[in-house]
Amino acid sequence: MKKFNKHIKKAPEEPTKPPRLNKYVANAGICSRRKADEHIKKGLVQVNDVVVREMGYRVQPGEVVKFEGKVIEPEKNKVYLLMNKPKNVVTTVSDEKARKTVMEIVKNACTERIYPVGRLDRNTTGLLLLTNDGSLADKLMHPRNGVRKIYHVTLDKPVTRKHIQAIRDGITLEDGDVMVDKVGYIKEDDKTIVSIEIHIGRNRIVRRIFEHFDYAVKKLDRVYYGGLTKKNITRGYWRNLTEKEVIMLKHFS
């Protein structure tokens, strides 16, 4: 039996590649990588004062990156906040109509630049994640990953069993077929309130499902998002995710 050779040399480690421009922008807490691609295409990102529209551009050490004319740098400390969003608040970093945004609610939460993951309509309440982790944001928003979301929907009139079954079977809207994961009454004695579970993220999808059957949505509340719930978060407030919750989000399938 041969003895273990203590002098075996380790293979040299491959040098770390400089980050792509979209990842650099995302890790600066500006937006997700997908959104960063849009900003780059629009010419909002400069490297050494030169507009760069090349998607695969890699930021070299010492280069200065600007977004909308301001110097940005990747955030070393990752922040993860979970908000119970109230009504009449828009899910944007800023608003041209001077309406209240979710960023005003978390303005004293941290010094890092963070942004909301996805959107909730102005009048939709419930769970909203904010972070500066661009990679996680991309993972949660990408349709192929199928992040589970549960909404409680209050309608203007009782929803018939026929329509509940039609939604279960799948419907077709103007932008394509819609399949939900689950739908049903929360209480048998109040058929105006329905729970619906989806993993698709199309614009106003829950409202449009019920509007398709001539129901008006009076209240829409997201109560579950990727394993997270509203437990112990008062409406209009937020909390930091636990380390366990962050690990869960990063490794969900």
Catalytic residues, by residue number, are 121
Closest CA to 45 of 18, 22, 66, 30: 66
Residue 37 to residue 40: CA distance in whole angstroms? 5
Instruction: For residue 179, give every residue at least 6 positions away whose Cβ sits within 8 Å of its Cβ, in sequence order, or none.
Output: 170, 200
Q: Which residues of 180-193 are buried (b: 16+ CB within 10 A; e: fewer)?
A: beebebeeeeebbb
Specify the pairing of strand 238-240 against strand 80-85.
Answer: antiparallel
Asked if 253 and 199 touch (Cβ cutoff 8 Å), the reply is no
Please give the single-letter amino acid code of residue 143. P
